Amino acid sequence: MKLYNLKETIKNTGVSRATIYRFYDENPILWEETKIKTKKRLIPEAHLNLIAKNNIYADSLSMKKDIEQQRRLIDLLSDINTIQYRLYQMKWDWFGTIAFKLDRTKQYCYHEMAQTFSHLLDLYGKEIDLRIFFTVEPFTNRGGYHIHFILRVGEALLTKAVLSDIEKFYEGNRVEFREYDKYKAGLFYVTKNGLKGEDWDIFGNNLSKA
C-alpha cells in the first residue's frame, strides 16, 4: 500500500490542509488507517479519492453512511429494552475521541476516563450535572486502545471550559470533539461493538434527570 505525506496528499487531491483534517474529523475510522513513520502522518493511497473535492466516491460514501445510520436508528428504536435505547433518550452534547500517543491497555484507558470524571467534579462540583458514556476499543492498525465517548454538561455556560479541561488532561494525545447529533453516528459508533464488561461505563448516570 502506497503512502503519502501531507504535502503530497495536498498536491494529489487539490484540497487544503484544513480540508484533509476535516475529512478525518468526519471519518475517525479512516483516521485510524493512517500511519506514523519518522514522526510524520502518512495517508494511504486509497483515501485520496475520498478526500478530493467534488469526488463521486466521497459523495457515495457519505450517502452510504447516512443510510446505515438511519437503519441503526430504526433498529435501536424498535427495542425499548436495550441500554442503547435508554442512552438514546438521554440528552447529550458532544461526541469525542481520545487516541493515545503510546500504546495503552484497555485497563489504562478505563482508569483514565474514571480519573477524568473525578477531575472535572473536583473542578466544578456536582452542580455541573456532568454525564459521560464511553467505550474502550483496540486500534485496527496499531497496538493499544483508544476511547470513544459522548458527553453531557448540564450547566451549558461551563461547556467550553469542560472541553478545554479534557484536552489539557490528555495533553500530548489526540483529542477530538464534535457536536452531538442524535441523527448521526455518535451513540451508534460508541456502542457498535456491543456493551460488554469493563469495555464501557457511564459516569454521572443520574437517570432520573436524563
Domain limits for position 114: 80-209
Please give the residue that has the higher pLDDT: either 97 or 84.
Answer: 97
Residue 65 covered by a domain: no
Asked whether residue 28 falls in the same domain as residue 108, the answer is: no
Q: How many domains does the chain have?
A: 2
In a domain, 162, yes or no: yes
The confidence score (pLDDT) of residue 58 equals 56
CA–CA distance, 56 with 7 (Å, rounded to integer): 23
Let me know if residue 71 belongs to a domain. Answer: no
| Block residue for cell numbers 459522548 | 150
Q: Flag the least confident range among 97-111, 116-130, 195-209.
A: 195-209
- Name the 3-class secondary structure at 4: strand
Residues 107 and 199 in one domain: yes
Helix/strand/coil for 96: strand
Question: pLDDT tens digit string along 9-38?
Answer: 988 888 888 788 888 888 888 998 999 888
Give percent of the chain above pLDDT 70.
Answer: 82
pTM across the whole model: 0.65
Q: How far is it, in rounded angstroms, from Cα 173 to Cα 180?
A: 21
Q: Specify the pLDDT at position 103.
A: 93
| pLDDT tens digit sequence for 125-168 | 888 889 999 988 888 777 899 998 999 999 989 999 999 999 99
188-194: list long-range contacts, CB under 8 Å, 24+ apart: 188/69, 188/72, 188/73, 188/76, 189/28, 189/95, 189/148, 190/95, 190/133, 190/134, 190/135, 190/148, 190/149, 190/150, 191/84, 191/87, 191/135, 193/135, 193/137
- Statement to judge: residues 146 and 110 lie in one domain: yes
What DSSP state is assigned to residue 156?
G
- CATH code at position 128: 3.30.70.1910
List the beta bridge partners of residue 4.
Answer: 43
Q: Is residue 60 part of a domain?
A: no
| pLDDT of amino acid 119 | 95
The closest of 130, 114, 126, 118 to 201, measured between CA atoms, is: 114
Q: Cβ distance 155 to 128 under 8 Å? A: yes
- Nearest to residue 174, comparing CAs of 48, 41, 18? 41
Q: Are residues 204 and 164 in the same domain?
A: yes
> For 57, what's the count of Cα atoms within 13 Å in the CB-facing half-sphere?
7
